[in-house]
Structure 1
Amino acid sequence: MDGQGTPKPPEADDASRLSDPRRLASLATTNLMDSPHEEVFDRAVRLATQLTGRPVGLLSLIDGQRQFFKAQIGLPDHAAEARETPLTHSFCQHVVTEDAPLIVKDAREDPLVRDNLAIDDLGVVAYLGVPVHGPDGETLGSFCVIDGSPHEWSAADLKTLEDLSAMIETDLKLRDTVAQRDLLIGEMNHRLKNIFTLIGGMIRQSAREASDPREMAEQITGRVQALNAAHSLVLPDGGTRGHEGGEVALDDLADTVLAPYPGAQKIVRGGKVMLGPKAAVAFALSLHELATNAAKYGAFSDSLGRVELDWDVAEDKLSLTWREELPHAMAVTANDAGFGSRLLQLNVEAQLRGTLHRTSPPKACMSLSRSRLRLSSTDAKIGLAPWSPLSLSCP
């Protein structure tokens, strides 16, 4: 503490690590912050205290301002009831910033934590904590045991916590796998419903363009085949066929996804950017949702409408813009609760580690929607594409 009796502010590097957008996005994806008690985590904490013989055990999750106790045993009543403390009372934050175990025999004599308010307010003297990682490898928090008296921690104590932490991480991976499975099943059901609407639109559009039944049949067949090709890019196993190394070029993916729609109504342009399998699936699903929405309510629902999709790379950042235009004003009803909207949000936040902002344009707006994302071109190649705030609104 300084001379005024207040804790020292965290080091700038430590604060930056705690507030790292990727780490916070990974933490948010787990939905564990501020969630109720769960037996699987409570059991792990009980085992930790029983096996090490210490009175206090915690599964502590850290965001940029506080630590939340997903599971705890042995804390003072006020802290156990609150289930959180500010970082001024957190030893666990150091486990996160270093992504390594923290071993403290006597906190009152340890330069790293001797000014921490948890010593006086929570009775923390001896501390042993190990990192807990999310399914994507980001450090979410600490699994720890605590004593109110000095204690010499053994190698067996450390191994016990590491094993229990690994069990927690396995549970988080299983939860993520189940969530992805449910999302894919929902996407398949959603797409089966959409395909009938889409094919109906293809038939109507082909009927207006074709001069005879044979030409109409050829047009419909070509569009259905293009739709099938787009579907092959977003198989449930995340595979991308026909591309070496599991990569797909963004322009090839965009052309494939938009192939079912009239060529005169779309413009696709941009340089060569390679996407890894994970990013390719997320991009394909997102473009599919935007295109399907345009077919139902936007530019593709009117023969005079137009969609422009373009991107460029500058300062190692990729900027992509989706723009829809109609020759007249058109009211648009946003459905943020629909599966398509939820799927787009999950793709952006969970798969591409970004944030999604949506706004409805004014009814008089001719440009119905504009979507924009930014990502590192290097990350795009390996399929870890961070997506900056994306908005659906008038430019």
Structure 2
Amino acid sequence: MTLILENIIDSQRIDALARSSLLDTQREERFDRVTRLVAHALNVPVALVTLVDEDRQFFKSTVGLPEPWDSSRQTPLSHSFCKHVVAESRTLRVTDARSHPLVAQNMAIKDLSVVAYLGVPLHGPTGHVLGSLCAIDAKPRDWSDHDERTLYDLAAIVEDQIGLTFTEKRWREILSTMPQMVWSTRPDGFHDYYNDRWYEFTGVPYGSTDGEGWNDMFHAEDQQKAWTQWRHSLATGEPYEIEYRLRHKSGQYRWTLGRALPIRDSTGVIERWFGTCTDIHDLKSAETQRDLIARELAHRIQNIFAVVSSLVNMSARGVPAAREFADTVGGRILALAKAHKYVKSDGANSVHATFDHDHTVHGLIATVLAPYREPENPERIIVDGCDAPIDMRTATALALALHELATNSVKYGALSAEAGELAISCNAASETLTIRWRERGGPIVEEAPTRSGFGSELVVTAAVTQLGAKLERHWEREGLTVTIDIPVANLDQSATNTFRG
């Protein structure tokens, strides 16, 4: 008996049992299904999944156990046959407990009507025996080898579930160390897990936002949008991504980025959704402030263009001979103002509102270079090759690069000379759009510049950093040639690109 007790209270085994997080937990169908199978397969009135603690046994699942034991779901070890399975780490067969030397004095015979008993060990992932899967009858029974093999097969299912519990607990510990709020749902979207960061941020009681309670945490103006987007993801399996205002424990609503992806099995069926919530409130506030400053700056610059244009017109009123010159200059100033709206950080509306062409590479080039075209010499600037749609992000970066190239050409390159010409061609490969900027007829290029000015650096920043492009300059004697290779995927992230021409 001393050896039995020592094996039961072994500190490593007790620690493994505690880390299983199964003691004193609610009934679960995944375990109840197995005890029902035991009762049916072995034709017994009672089947148990038992976990043996140092001074008691806890029933994780029961079938046919009499009251009050079925409600309390535990007994002291004085009523335990399973402790012998744990202590000996092997099967225990008892045909008639009343005459069995090991358990004849066990109080379960009288209080739980245990006469015949068959129990097999249940191991945890660490190899320790945590308890027993057992079959019980109220009358004597000779257990067969087939009965024992059947019980072992069903015990393997229980051990798999115990292993999943260990894994889930470990993952919960890992997820709770993450700096982001993490949540998970069942395939139908029922929220059943939030990590500690969620509760720290929201201040709500644990479990209070399970199910559909999460939507009440959003700002009233964002709830319907969040629901609609979430239902769409559940219906289609598409990734979930949305910005909404989430109630902080302080009572303030803070802007949050919500994202989720489905986890699928080998056949593609969704098993779970895992998502995160990221506090972006400070970033959102900074963006708002930045956009406000950018809009104010853009407004002032547009006013400058307007004032300069008005001054040119006013100066020409009394000089009829200057009228044609004034109209030409005024037209170029207006074109510069339009091009400026491409490179100012004023959101998508500014780009689309001033784009008189389709939202394509060719349309952007035409708008940016309009100030430098000469109606009497249309061949001075030629644009040819294929065309492709672009989004606001690409338009802004590409317009900035083209504008700086054109400005440098007017100062130092082909467009600074009367006979200078500029040819821009667009060629598409399967994954890349190549824009080739070729200047000819300008000042002879003796050698490549030894240093880069701010404008040149701006071209590189716009093309390489923002577009993910590859940019090369070739300083040939006849003039500058620049090639910009842009990944097709970066041209228009809102749609699949279709090349034209």
Question: Of the two, which has the highest radius of gyration?
Answer: 2
Q: Output the TM-score relative to the length of structure 2.
A: 0.37
Relative contact order higher in (CA < 8 Å, ≥ 6 apart): 1
Q: Output the TM-score relative to the length of structure 1.
A: 0.45
